[in-house]
Amino acid sequence: AIEVLSEAAAKAPPSTGLKTSLAEFLALRGDLAGAERAIQEARAAGENPARLVPFEADLLFARGNWQKAALLYESAGVETLSRARKERLAAGYFRSGDHRKALAIFRQLAAEAGQPEASAHNNIGVALEAMDSLEAAENEYLRAVKLEPDYADAWFNLGNLAQKKGKLNKAVEYYSRTREIEGSSLDVENAIAAVLMELGRYNEAFQAFINIIQIDSTAGAAYIGAGDAAWELGKIHTAEKYYRNYLDRFSRDEAPARLLKRISEKTISGLKN
């Protein structure tokens, strides 16, 4: 199909927009480099910029060039963009640090939806949180989970927000809800382990670090965390096991000083294994 379309595009006049169509087809196949070449050819041939510009922005967005993508979406005219492209525009603003513009687009999308959407409230909350409007952000996240009780991203964001506000037990509650919905993940286990350590809930923190290691055996910080949690529980041999596992897998030069000090101690009394 690509060969046929390529041959047709080479012969067709610009008004047909076949080079742009070829670029879109290549992008769907995951060939971003090929799509970019086809876009350059379409531009050189004088094909319709109303199709070219937003699609070129899509390619930049896919490459992670958020700021340039946002500028191109803007130049195409925000009012002409599809909903998906407006979402990319907002994400492009957000990731390039322009949180106010991101918030404006997210609010526009929510208004255009016609009815409340959990994802819209979550996105608005993310932008507000980035602007340090924490109470307003929390209200948006709570609206999201009220609309969609199993919306894991909003529960996770509530956990992050609770942690920022120093409400650590509430953060654990929200992170645990995320875990119930989507199962263990590196993001959730890392977040919950950090809060549990801060709360001194070392048994639970130790299990969270084990969960991380089971997901990703190359997560060096989890070996140290498991060792630290075991150490705080007085389980010195278990702590030493995880510390040594870390040293066997990773650079000794990067090991925390406390780890090296602890495994070098020879005599420890009154502690359980």
Pair 91, 69: CB distance under 8 Å: no
Q: What whole-number distance in Å separates Cα of residue 127 and Cα of residue 260?
A: 42
Asked if the model's pLDDT at residue 29 lies above 80, the reply is no
Q: Calculate the alpha carbon distances from 102 to 28, 89, 96, 109 in Å.
A: 26, 8, 10, 11
Q: Higher model confidence: residue 63 or residue 31?
A: 63
Which residues 6+ apart lie within 8 Å of 248 measured at CB? none
What percentage of the chain carries pLDDT values higher than 70?
90
Q: Higher model confidence: residue 269 or residue 229?
A: 229
**Worst-scoring range by mean pLDDT, 18-32, 47-61, 202-216?**
18-32
The model's pLDDT over 184-228, given as tens digits with 9 standing for 90+, comes to 999 999 999 999 999 999 999 999 999 999 999 999 999 999 999
What's the pLDDT at 30?
A: 78
Q: Buried (b) or exposed (e) across 14-33, using 16+ Cβ within 10 A? A: eeebbbbbbbbbbbeeeeee
Asked if the model's pLDDT at residue 271 lies above 50, the reply is no
